[in-house]
Amino acid sequence: MSEISWRGHRHLLTMNQFSRKDIEDIHHFSHILKPYSREGNKLSILKGSILQSVLFEHSTRTLKRHESAMKIMGGDCLSPHLSITSSMEKGESETDTVITYAQNADILAIRHPSPNSVYLFAERINELKNNTTRIINCGNGPDEHPTQALLDYHTIMEELGTLDDLIWLIVGDLEYGRPVHSHMIGTQKFSNNKIIGFPVGGLSLQKERRTSGYEEFDLDYLYKIPSEIPPDSNVVLYATRIQFERIARKRYPDYDNFDEARKRQIRDEIYREFQYQITLPLLDALPEKTRLLHPLPRGSEISDEVFFSNNPKVAPIEQIRYGVQTTMAYIALFSGKEDKLRKVETLWFKICYNSNRLLDEIFPN
Ligand code: NCD
């Protein structure tokens, strides 16, 4: 049976597996897939492919962008598996569940609270005979969220046009926020990125995740830093949710057995304790080429006023849409369909070329 892989990797597990060129190519394919993420323009690249979402933690955006991407490209999805678990260790029955799905689907989009989970599942799947199922890591506990990082890079490329020479201001939960951890790896593939962390309430980035040049300051300084940033800089203001459920499990070992009302009470207490907010005056003070990103869901860190404003610096809603294109791109690549994407690319170049010719005819020099 032929091995399906992309650039030597069967599964999409960590930002470590990608080179700068890989990330740029994923962005490029995401970009050319944009017209197809609209109504009426569908593809058949993944006809016959089946995706199974396997969620041991909740998910809305990640689940929906995978389903949407599959459907736009002519593939199918089995109904998602949702079984919330607090286990920091992967139980044997979970492996059996994953193996069962691997024998029924071509792609597994997995989210699990344990950092080791996706690696162990991948090992087991690799041992299966006559099986080419790929795993997409959609969040392995507090460790990583590589597909969120990829869609963030696509968003930044579309909005700011570069992944080099950026000033990243990362705010919120740096200890447990897994997209942040993937960015600590991903941003290093590009040059001259300055990463400044603003942890809330001591939720600092672990020493072993810090890269050279990384600096961390108290939150107060975030509101003062704009005056120190050159006005022509490209800035990514990356806000993150406080991962209340991970903090709660640490504080209350029995948290998962609490009733819903008690869980909500604990969530609200933790949100109050670690509260922060991105304000419009802060955004106004930052350079013109600033984009506020947030992996979502948001707590009170972005108010409705900011979230729904038409301010071009506020990008989380666009980010959701860019996520669909990015998901289409990496699913197609990890399904061995780069040649099909190249055909879409040719068509895209033809359309651009012809529309330029048309423009030349309408507006001759
Ligand atoms: C993030 C996640 O689950 O890691 N959200 C997402 O995938 N869009 C961030 C979060 O949980 O806060």
**Average confidence score pLDDT of the chain:** 93
Other Cβ atoms less than 10 A from the Cβ of 61: the count is 16
- Ligand 1 centroid to Cα of residue 344, in Å, is 31
pLDDT in tens, 17-33: 999 999 999 999 999 99
- Ligand 1 centroid to Cα of residue 298, in Å, is 9
Distance of alpha carbon 15 from alpha carbon 63, whole angstroms:
20
What is the rounded average pLDDT of the residues 344-353? 82
pLDDT of residue 335 exceeding 50: yes
pLDDT of residue 100 exceeding 90: yes
**In contact, 183 and 148? CB cutoff 8 Å:** no
**% of the chain surpassing 90 pLDDT:** 85
Distance of alpha carbon 305 from alpha carbon 288, whole angstroms:
19
pLDDT in tens, 46-65: 999 999 999 999 999 999 99
What pLDDT, on a 0 to 100 scale, did the predictor assign at position 90? 62
For 169, the enclosing helix (H) or strand (E) is: strand 166-172
- Ligand 1 centroid to Cα of residue 337, in Å, is 28
What pLDDT, on a 0 to 100 scale, did the predictor assign at position 1? 46
Contacts of residue 209, defined as CB under 8 A and 6 or more positions apart, other chains included, come to 181, 184
Which residue's CA is the closest to the ligand 1 atom numbered 6?
295
pLDDT in tens, 220-265: 999 999 999 999 999 999 999 999 999 999 999 999 899 999 999 9
Which residue's CA is the closest to the ligand 1 atom numbered 7?
62
Q: Is the pTM of this model over 0.85?
A: yes
In sequence order, the β-bridge partners of residue 9 are 6
pLDDT of residue 2 exceeding 60: no
- Ligand 1 centroid to Cα of residue 116, in Å, is 18
pLDDT of residue 362 exceeding 80: no
pLDDT in tens, 212-232: 889 999 999 999 999 999 999
pLDDT in tens, 164-197: 999 999 999 999 999 999 999 999 999 999 999 9
- Ligand 1 centroid to Cα of residue 66, in Å, is 14
Q: To test ligand 1's pocket by mutation, which of 110, 112, 148, 300 has the most ligand atoms within 8 angstroms of CB?
A: 148
Q: Which atom of ligand 1 is nearest to the CA of 111?
A: 3
- Ligand 1 centroid to Cα of residue 91, in Å, is 23
Q: To test ligand 1's pocket by mutation, which of 176, 296, 319 has the most ligand atoms within 8 angstroms of CB?
A: 296
For the ranges 54-58, 161-165, 286-290, 356-360, which has the lowest average pLDDT? 356-360
Q: 300: which DSSP letter?
A: T
